[in-house]
């Protein structure tokens, strides 16, 4: 009982400190950044479909920037040996199809 109460106190105190000191909040990891960049790239692709002549240059520039950011983060994740699946699972999948 006391342990549960102590954990709740620590949790709410941590929330309070995060509110007072925003720099204390945790930054998103590389996987979160990749997902955000993928979503941004998807939205940029959709913007081109609805861009008029005045906004077409911006839409193309935005699409290129989002694509480069996404590809750069993928490269950074690859260099950190982060993948979406374990290599053993991929090998099993490929060999079972042949």
Whether 17 is in a domain gets the answer no
Whether 3 is in a domain gets the answer no
pLDDT in tens, 24-62: 555 568 888 888 899 999 999 999 888 888 889 999 999
Whether 10 is in a domain gets the answer no
In this predicted structure, the answer to whether residue 63 has a pLDDT above a threshold of 90 is yes
Whether 2 is in a domain gets the answer no
Which pLDDT score is estimated for 28? Answer: 66
Whether 47 is in a domain gets the answer yes
Asked if 60 and 48 count as a contact pair (C-beta separation under 8 A), the reply is yes
**From CA 47, how far away is CA 72, in angstroms rounded?**
21
Domain range enclosing 31: 27-97
pTM of the model: 0.59
Whether 68 is in a domain gets the answer yes
Number of domains in the chain: 1
Whether 40 is in a domain gets the answer yes
User: Over the range 25-51, which residues count as b (16 or more CB within 10 Å of their CB) and which as e?
Assistant: eeeeeeeebbeebeebbeebeebeeeb
Q: Report which of residues 85 and 76 the model is more confident about.
A: 76
Average pLDDT, integer, range 75-79: 88
- Nearest in space to 60 (alpha carbons), one of 42, 47, 71, 73: 47
| Burial class (CB within 10 angstroms; exposed 0-12, middle 13-18, buried 19+) of 70 | buried
Please report, rounded to a whole number, the percentage of residues in the chain having pLDDT higher than 70. 74
């Amino acid at each position: 009982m006391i342990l549960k109460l102590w954990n709740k106190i620590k949790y709410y105190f941590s929330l309070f400190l995060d509110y007072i000191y925003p720099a204390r909040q945790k930054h998103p990891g590389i996987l979160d950044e990749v997902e955000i960049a993928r979503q941004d790239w998807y939205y940029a692709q959709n913007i081109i479909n609805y861009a008029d002549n005045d906004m077409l240059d911006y839409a193309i520039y935005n699409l290129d920037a989002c694509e480069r950011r996404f590809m750069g983060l993928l490269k950074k994740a690859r260099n950190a040996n982060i993948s979406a699946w374990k290599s053993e699972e991929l090998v099993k999948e490929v060999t079972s199809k042949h």
